[in-house]
Amino acid sequence: MQASITNTATRYGWATIVLHWLIGIIFIGQFMLGFVMVRTPSQRTAFELIQLHKSLGFLLLGLIILRIAWRLGNAAPPLPPSVGALERRSAPLAHLALYAFQVALPLSGWALVSVSTLEIPSMPFNLFVMPNLPLAESDAAESFWTSAHWYLAYAGAALVALHVAAALRHHFLLRDGVLTRMITPSSAGE
Ligand code: HEM
| Total domains present in the chain | 1
Looking at the domain assignment, is residue 23 inside a domain? yes
Task: Return the pLDDT at 110.
Answer: 98
Residues near 91 by beta carbon (within 8 Å), at least 6 away in sequence: 79, 83, 166
Task: Return the pLDDT at 189.
Answer: 58
The CATH number given to whatever domain includes residue 25 is 1.20.950
Phi first, then psi: give them for residue 3, nearest 5 degrees: -70, 140
Task: Give the Å distance between the CA of 53 and the centre of ligand 1.
Answer: 7
Q: Is the beta carbon of 185 within 6 A of some atom in ligand 1?
A: no
CA–CA distance, 170 with 179 (Å, rounded to integer):
7
Is residue 151 pLDDT above 90, yes or no? yes
Looking at the domain assignment, is residue 190 inside a domain? no
Strand (E) positions, 1-90?
none
Task: Give the Å distance between the CA of 149 and the centre of ligand 1.
Answer: 6
Looking at the domain assignment, is residue 152 inside a domain? yes
Quick: pLDDT tens for 122-132. Answer: 999 999 999 99
Looking at the domain assignment, is residue 2 inside a domain? no
Q: Cβ(178)–Cβ(167) under 8 Å?
A: yes
Is residue 105 pLDDT above 80, yes or no? yes
Task: Return the pLDDT at 9.
Answer: 87
Quick: pLDDT tens for 55-94. Answer: 999 999 999 999 999 999 999 999 988 888 998 999 999 9
Looking at the domain assignment, is residue 3 inside a domain? no
Which residue range forms the structural domain that includes residue 22? 14-182
